[in-house]
Structure 1
Amino acid sequence: MIQSEVSILRRVKHPNIVLLIEEMDTRSELYLVMELVKGGDLFDAITSSNKYTERDASCMLFNLASAIKYLHSLNIVHRDIKPENLLVYEHQDGSKSLKLGDFGLATVVNGPLYAVCGTPTYVAPEIIAETGYGLKVDIWAAGIITYILLCGFPPFRSSGEDQEALFEQILKGELDFPAPFWDNISASAKALISGMLQVVVEQRYTAVHVIDHPWVNGDGLSEREHQLPVAGKIKQHFNYGPKISNTTAGVSVITATPLDKKEHVFRRRCHQDVKHAPNFPHSTNPIVPPAGFTPKSEDGSLSSAHTVRSPTSPL
């Protein structure tokens, strides 16, 4: 498993992915020297922020979708996308961006995969059903994260630790945007999440659809900077608190430091990579890509020399 992870880390070079700097192999241990990302994880960014808006959530998704798009262009599926694996990178100019890490479950897709793996809250229905799956399980996980970013709790949940009940909900895929938590969230955001959380894989968005969506590239965002009260919900639902360092078998791990509390966490920046898509229907019902819409190909990988930020991104 570790050799597979290292093999993939050697291949991937993208500004929204934690970079493998060097590796040292001894008789008993494998040491990986990774890029230093000391801004904490995604939940740190939200819970320590004095101001957090829908626009901030949009920018976070842009960073994540950029990383997924790059991986999928290489036929690599991550399989464990979750907030704990999204780290906040602090740039010299004070801006911030997300970097995807932990490639322990990542693999190259040469055909349908059947291994049941991942984290229950973010696992796609086709993994649970064991019918074979591919790249789009990452889109499902990103959709779950986007939902959490906007309300503070996941769309599919069960009481206590009833994992079977959780899996039944995921398999049904009955998406809801309950009041009052979603009352002030844009229709565009709900439409995007619906497209990402399609149980039918063929109808689920690709990473390109996500990046090209108006809510992500900025066209579908309201100018209103309504503050989202999600930090408390995240702490409540995920029992979120200080982290304890840990060590994975044979790999020395150094945990990231907490995010510095600042006046603002994210800033918006311009980026030339984003293309504008046709208008998507603003519906909270499950949707598929519009007829006639042909996104640019999945092979649009990005050089690690460029920082990826959306044109409306505060990151």
Structure 2
Amino acid sequence: MINQCSKKSFFSCFQMKWQPLTLRSFEIQEVFQIITNLKGKCQKAHLKLYKQFLCINDKEQLDVSNYQISKVENKILGQGIRLQSIEFSLEFYGSIDKWFEYLKLYCIQTNFTQKYQVQKLVGAGTYGKVYRVKNKIDYNIYAVKTFEKQLINSLDDQEGLVKEIGLLRSLDHRGIIKLHEVYESEQFVFLVFEFLQNKNLNDTLEKGVSLGESQAYNIIKDLLETVLYIHEQGILHRDLKPDNILQRNETQKYVIIDFGLADNYREDGQYLFKKCGTPGYCAPEILWNQIYDQKVDIYSLGVILYEMLTGQNPFYSKNYDERIMLNKESKFDYSKVKVSYNALDLLQGMLHKNPQKRFSAKEALNHRYFQQQKQHHHVQSLSQLSDTLMNTGNQISSPRQEAYTNFFEIGQSSNRQTRHLYSPKLSQRFDELDKEILHHHNVYSCHISNLKCVAQNINHDQILQKLIKKYQKV
């Protein structure tokens, strides 16, 4: 006997079968009373579970992704879990609460209306709508993204939704929207997400107001860290734009949403959807139908950064075809970008038309702009200052950056600029260090993050070591 809902399941074509055992470690394991194929006889079995992989008696493993899951009751065996596909069913009875919490992340539930109360419509898309809902059990608020099954006609669109769900299940990062559960009814598929009620980035940018350098680059650094994680999982997002970036309430960090066009990286470029994204934010290699990799996401972040700094999209046009052509040509007016030299260099590296020369997420995060900011904010104690001085010693005779590069020097105004960075008990000792360095002002003109030398033929290391030793001990 096979459950009728399983026959109609949207996920029937994407349910896996038993495979030879390859796993060697598991997250949980326990002995249960099991029944297979509903009317089979009851027997004891040792079940092991690692993510979505279920193993019975160390013989075979089953990927239970997109199997229907439900809690069942047996008069003799008590409470249990039923896993069901169109061809196979398994029931196991015992202490099942922890197992259900694990398995529901990868399986499909069918009792959405029993568990959630719809409160408000908050958005709409091509295949369905987004609602704010309340969990009837724990009273927490969530967002549910609905898909009307009859509107998803093509096999590619069906595969795209299943892929989106699978990718979201595999990702776990503070900068990515969290998928909690998936449900299915005869008419809809429901994706239950954490609820983020704050504004998306577009709410700020569409006003045409530019952000300051510090704020814009803090946001892009946060997004680059998330995108680096996504890329390390072998995934491309392919639709990064302000609409798909939400601000998390409690941390004010930014969260990437909508993985509907995301895919696993393929060296041959044969993605489920190859030419996709939003004109105005696409990397040009996508629009030119060239083979591409994860760097398409860095280009999109570069466009977002440009937009934050200038208040306008570089490819804006009311005409759709013209917007695509501007995007394909990938020309930028950098005269509108009023930032420091290093900040501009980072932006240009993210927006390079040639993906071979474009920064990766890791290269962007390691850019000297972010390293400089890290050094500026890292000085908290005299011992840390000593480390900074030692680590930058080999740069001591490097040329000074352009005048508008962000830095501050220890000079006559140093007390005003630096005193607030240190605790009161250290301020006196830093004043003494300032004076000692100023005594050698003919030798050094330096700032905390990167010492600069304006003289030659001097044993810099020897003088520096004397200063450090003198003030290193507490």
Please, what TM-score do these two structures have when normalized by structure 1? Answer: 0.63
User: 1:51 and 1:122 mapped to 2: Cα distance?
Assistant: 17
Partner of 1:168: 325
SS at match of 2:280: helix
| CA shift for structure 1 position 111 | 2.0
Q: Relative to structure 1, is the Cα distance of residues 9 and 162 closer, same or farther in structure 2, using a 3 angstrom cutoff?
A: closer
Q: Residues 1-315 of structure 1 correspond to what in structure 2 (within 5 A)? A: 1-45=160-204, 52-91=211-250, 95-113=251-269, 115-158=274-317, 160-163=318-321, 165-178=322-335, 181-182=336-337, 184-217=338-371, 219=373
After superposition, the C-alpha distances for 1:267-306 in whole angstroms (9 at most, x for unaligned) are xxx9xxxxx9x99x989xxxxxxxxxxxxxxxxxxxxxxx
The answer for unaligned runs of 5 or more in structure 1 is 224-269, 271-275, 284-315
Q: Runs of 5+ in structure 2 lacking a partner?
A: 1-159, 381-390, 403-474
Distance 2:346 2:401 in 1: 8
Letter aligned with residue 164 of structure 2: E
Structure 2 distance, partners of 1:105, 1:82, is: 12
Q: Secondary structure at the match of 2:294?
A: coil
Q: Across the two proteins, how many residue pairs are aligned to each other?
A: 221
Contact 1:191/1:282 (8 A) holds in 2: no
- Contact in 2 for aligned 1:126/1:132 (Cα 8 Å): yes
- The answer (yes or no) to whether the contact 1:140–1:196 under 8 Å persists in 2 is yes
Distance 1:148 1:51, change over 3 A: closer
Offset from partner CA, 1:110-140 (integer Å, 9 cap, x none):
2243611100000111011102112111011
Q: Secondary structure at the match of 1:210?
A: helix
Residues 65 and 282 of structure 1: CA distance in aligned 2, closer, same or farther (over 3 Å):
farther
Alpha-carbon distance change, 87 to 218 in structure 1, aligned in 2, over 3 angstroms: farther
CA distance in 2, matches of 1:130, 1:213: 30
CA positional deviation for 1:62: 1.2
- Which runs of 4 or more aligned residues in structure 1 lie more than 4 Å from their structure 2 counterparts after TM superposition? 45-48, 220-223
1:64 aligned partner, one-letter code: L
CA contact (8 A) 1:21 1:33 kept: yes
**Quick one: structure 1 residues 88 and 113, their matched pair in 2 at CA, closer, same or farther if it must change by over 3 Å?**
same
Give the conservation status (yes or no) of the 8 Å contact 1:144–1:155: yes
What does the per-residue CA deviation read over 1:4-34, in whole Å, with 9 as the maximum and x for residues that have no partner?
A: 1001000001010111111112232111110
Relative contact order higher in (CA < 8 Å, ≥ 6 apart): 1
Shift of 1:85: 0.4
Taking the aligned partners of 2:162 and 2:308, their CA distance within structure 1 comes to: 33
1 or 2, which has the higher helix percentage? 2
Q: CA deviation at 1:42?
A: 1.1
Distance 1:151 1:222 in 2: 25
- Tell me: CA distance 1:282–1:74, structure 2 relative to 1, closer, same or farther (3 Å): farther
Q: Report the TM-score, using the length of structure 2 for normalisation.
A: 0.43
CA RMSD, 1 decimal: 3.1
Give the partner amino acid of 2:283: A
Which has the higher Rg, Structure 1 or Structure 2?
2
The 10-residue stretch of structure 1 (36-45 or 114-123) with the greater mean CA deviation from structure 2: 36-45
> SS of the residue aligned with 2:298?
helix
Contact 1:214–1:221 (8 Å) recurs in 2: no
